[in-house]
Structure formats: C-alpha cells, structure tokens
Amino acid sequence: MSAELPPICDYEGSDYQASFWDSGNRTYEDGVEAIALKRLLPPGGKLLLEIGAGAGRNTPRYKNFERIVLLDYSRSQLVQAQKRLGRSERFVYVVANVYRLPFVPGLFDTATMIRTLHHLADAPLALRQTRQVLKSGAIFILEYANKQNLKAILRFLLRRQTWNPFNPEPVEFAELNFDFHPKAIRHWLNDAGFRLDKQLTVSHYRSALLKRLFPTAWLVTMDSLAQLTGNWWQLSPSVFTRSTASGDSPIASLGEFFRCPACTHFPLEETPNAMKCPACGKNWPVQDGIYQFRE
C-alpha cells in the first residue's frame, strides 16, 4: 500500500483541550454535545472505537462500553487522554491515521468521530476505512461541521461571504478546516456502507452575544429541544448523525485485533515493545502503554 495519503491537520504538541475547552468559554458547546451523544449512543457495547479522540474529552461519556479504543494521529493528545483516564485494560491508546486504520475488519460494535471530520481532506476515504473495521449492524456516530448553517446562509445572502452554503462541495474556510453539506455527508455515508438512522442538529445558539445575554443552562435546554428537528432540516453549525453499518462484514476472530497499516497483514506478532508485521517486517512500537501505528 504505497498510495499517497491526504494531508493531515497535525495536533502534535497542541494545547487544544486546555485553550479551546477548559478555558475557552465552551461550556455551552460541551453541554449540547453531551446531550446529542447520549441520545445517539446505544445502551452499551463491548468495543467502541473513538476516532480523533484528542485528549479524551468525550471518552467518559462512553461509560456503558466494556472497552474503548482511543485513536488519534497525535501522540501528545493521547498522552493527555491517558493522564485523564489512566492506564487500564479498558482503554487502548492508538496513534494512527484514520486513512489507514490498523485494525482487522469487522472488529468494533460502535464507532464515534466527533469534531474530527472537519479536518479531513478526504472524508469519503475516512468513512470507508471506518466501515471496514465495523461489524455488520454496528453503530457509527459522526459529527460534522455544517456549511449550510443559518449564519453562513445570511452572510451569503448579504454578500459578506463568497462561498455558497447550498453548494454540496465541502468548503475549506481555513487550511485543513472543512465545512460539509448535509447532502454530501448522507451520500458518502451511504456509499461507504452505512444506513443513516437519525440526525440531530447541534449548537444552534453558538454565539458570543447569546452566551453573554442568557444563562448557559437555558441555552443548553433550548438547544436540546431544537436538536430534535435534525431529521427535518439542518441549519445548525454542527450536526450529529447515527448510522448503522449495512451489508455483510467479516467477523473478526477471537484474539485478532491489530493489522499492519502499511500492508494490511494480520495477525501481528507481539514483542515486548512492539507489534511486528511478519509480512512486511515493519515494527510498530508500543511505548508507555500507547500503540504507535503511524510512520
């Protein structure tokens, strides 16, 4: 597998969790996302894959899952997640690229991808990779940034924005930051082998002025009501979707877990500090409880 991969928005060394969430006045956004996740998550499961887990902000919300794999391109984000969640059998920390997932096909019963798609230059490829590692009937919760949001529509109509929010093409409003059209997302999910079950529109009141004028708890309650219109129209800046993996998938055999992201061979051989691929000879280090499947 030598095909060139899309560029990556690299969070290595970023203080994203501290600056954006912990001290960035984002209690409202965090609260409404927690409600959307709760509404969409299945009641429980064995093995959940969190793609673009970052510093593990959402991981405690997967409390009814036996095991959670936190996957991120950036090792430093997973180090932060490990500090928050600790080292245990329940959490598996994996540095890898979503475009080359290092897992055997048909492994997971649930996957989530929150606030990550908006950094992906090839979203359809990431969705196909995700589908491949899911069992048939597995649940996939995807959050994406919606280009057809009310603010973008108004700005476009008032000629204060050049890009058209109704055009299905993604818009790259800053380098490796994309907003997507709901129609395009639905199309890509379907093409990747997912059946869309539910959409929730989220963060309707994401505005510095509204946050100043109204108590956060009140805005969160109003948003939680507005989320329920998500199947009918999508005009909010963020949309959560819940899909089911349709069609057949291989069933991962007991004990099979990782595959080589370079050549897709499995099983890998476990050595004291690495996972070794017997087919291509690559050694994937395991350091301080973090698997490293990124070249």
Ligand X SMILES: C[S@@+](CC[C@H](N)C(=O)[O-])C[C@H]1O[C@@H](n2cnc3c(N)ncnc32)[C@H](O)[C@@H]1O
Among 59, 80, 82, 97, the residue binding ligand X under the rule CB under 6 A is 97
Picking from 176, 185, 120, the residue whose alpha carbon sits closest to that of residue 147 is 185
Give the residue, chosen from 70, 81, 98, 202, that forms a contact with ligand X under the rule CB under 6 A: 98
Q: CA-to-CA distance for 249 and 133, rounded, in angstroms?
A: 9
Beta bridge partners, 269, equal 276
Least separation in angstroms between CB 120 and ligand X: 6
Judged by CB, which is closer to ligand X: 73, or 284?
73
- Interaction pattern, residues 113-152, with ligand X; x per rule: CB under 6 A: -xxx--x---------------------------------
Smaller CB distance to ligand X: residue 29 or 156? Answer: 29
Q: Select the span of 111-119, 183-191, 215-223, 224-232 touching ligand X (CB under 6 A).
A: 111-119
Query: Which region holds residue 63: left if phi is over 0, alpha if psi is between -120 and 50, else beta?
Result: alpha
How many residues touch ligand X under the rule CB under 6 A: the total is 20
Query: Rounded distance, CA 189 to CA 124, Å?
Result: 8
Nearer to ligand X, 156 or 243 (CB): 243
294 touches ligand X (CB under 6 A): no
| Residues 51, 98 contacting (CB under 8 angstroms) | yes
Q: In the bound complex, what is the minimum distance in angstroms from residue 57's beta carbon to ligand X? A: 4
User: Phi/psi of residue 98, each to 5°?
Assistant: -60, -25
| Under 8 Å between Cβ of 124 and 184 | no
Q: From the CB of 144, what's the least distance to ligand X, in Å?
A: 12
**282 forms part of the interface with ligand X (CB under 6 A):** no
**String marking each residue 218-257 x if it binds ligand X according to CB under 6 A:** ----------------------------------------
Phi-psi region of 4 (alpha: psi -120 to 50; beta: other; left: phi over 0): beta
Contact code string over 24-63 relative to ligand X, x by CB under 6 A: ----------------------------xxx--xx-----
Q: Nearest-CB residue to ligand X? A: 54
Phi-psi region of 159 (alpha: psi -120 to 50; beta: other; left: phi over 0): left
In whole angstroms, what is the distance from residue 207 CA to residue 205 CA? 6
Name the helix (H) or strand (E) containing 201: strand 194-202
- 73 part of the interface to ligand X, by CB under 6 A: yes
Nearest-approach distance from CB 248 to ligand X, in angstroms: 26
What are the tokens at 11?
Answer: 């969070």
Closest CA to 220 of 17, 38, 3: 38
Please identify, using beta-carbon distances, which residue of 156 and 220 lies nearer to ligand X: 220
End-to-end CA distance of the chain: 13
* Site for ligand X, rule CB under 6 A: 8-9, 11, 16, 52-54, 57-58, 72-74, 77, 97-99, 114-116, 119
